[in-house]
Amino acid sequence: MTNSILAYQKYIGQEIEKLTIPSSPKNLYDPISYFLNIGGKRMRPVLTLMGCELFNADYKIAKHAALTVELFHNFSLIHDDIMDEAPLRRGNETVHQKWNVNIGILSGDALLIIAYQQLSKYEPSILAQLLPLINQTAIEVCEGQQYDMDFETKQDVSIDQYLQMIKFKTAVLLGCSLKMGAIVGGANENDANELYNFGVNLGIAFQLQDDILDVYADQDKFGKQVGGDIIANKKTYLLIKAFEDANSFQKNELNLLILEQDLVKKVAAVKSLYSDLDIKSKTEQKMNDFYDIALQNLDAIQISNDKKQPLLDLAHFLMGREN
């Protein structure tokens, strides 16, 4: 990670600590303070600060926009954790686990409102540009989460539907984070939109990489269990593509493997099928397509290349590439 990214992370971490979350009612605000303190990479607010500085503006003027996207992201995590019945987040108990579901719902609601409160610190002309953007993004994030839940029980998820889901659930908030910084930094509409698209396409590429790593990562370097998606029958790009490209014999085998109880055998057999169907390289190809478009988006911004270097470094870092 570059120094500048670390510096942005540190800055935003300090600003989150400085937020004055009220102390009463305890059951409303303690979960918010707790959840904000268990950390995370703060990638979204870092993008906002970088998006602002790209246009020669002091990144600190994007502070409230950066806090907005980070608070919004944490709201969505608290509610997603309830819906996914997740006991842990970043190695700590989730809010509904540590308190209860009602407290998770209400403190999540309050956190979303606190995110909007940050936004209202901008002057009217900036606010009027930021609010529709975060609203549109927020509603898309909800749609993405709904599609993701729907897909769990849906038989025939297409590649396009899957890409739409990960775009909404994850990628648009990255684009929004960057564009909010661009707006605060005084970018023109074209540049702000290219930066938005850079974030969205990079986000989709990153999510596809995540699907690949879940199957093919070195267990030593991977934070989760390699093969976890296969074991959980998660409809990833790889599984959907495999079903799409499989012949009727292979389809049958995949359907049987979903019921397989021997998990080591299951992971090995699905990987073998992926290998027969060349799924890894097909997914890498799709990932590279989105990554290339993201780089084109960045290239199209009418700003000198040296100004873009930090964002290029970030893209390389996120995609695990050498500089």
Q: Footprint of a second copy on this chain (CB under 8 A)? A: 25, 27-28, 79, 82-83, 101-102, 105-106, 108-110, 112-114, 116-117, 119-120, 123-125, 127-128, 131-132, 135-136, 138-139, 142-143, 145-147, 149-150
| Locus of tokens 């959840």 | 35
Question: Which residues are CB-neighbours of 241 under 8 A, at least 6 positions away?
Answer: 159, 277, 279, 282, 283
Query: Considering beta carbons, is residue 28 or 300 the nearer one to a second copy?
Result: 28
CB of 217 to a second copy, least distance (A): 30
Q: How far is CA 218 from CA 36, 205, 212, 213, in A?
A: 30, 20, 11, 8
Q: Which residues does residue 88 pair with via DSSP β-bridges, in sequence order?
A: 93
Query: Considering beta carbons, is residue 138 or 204 the nearer one to a second copy?
Result: 138
Query: Considering beta carbons, is residue 21 or 293 the nearer one to a second copy?
Result: 21
CB of 118 to a second copy, least distance (A): 10
SS3 121: coil
CB of 120 to a second copy, least distance (A): 5
Q: How far is CA 180 from the centre of its chain?
A: 16
CB of 29 to a second copy, least distance (A): 9
CB of 224 to a second copy, least distance (A): 23
Query: Considering beta carbons, is residue 82 or 273 the nearer one to a second copy?
Result: 82
Query: Considering beta carbons, is residue 119 or 178 the nearer one to a second copy?
Result: 119
| Burial status of residue 43 (CB atoms within 10 A of its CB: 0-12, 13-18, 19 or more) | buried
Report CA torsion sign: 204, 210, 216, 218. positive
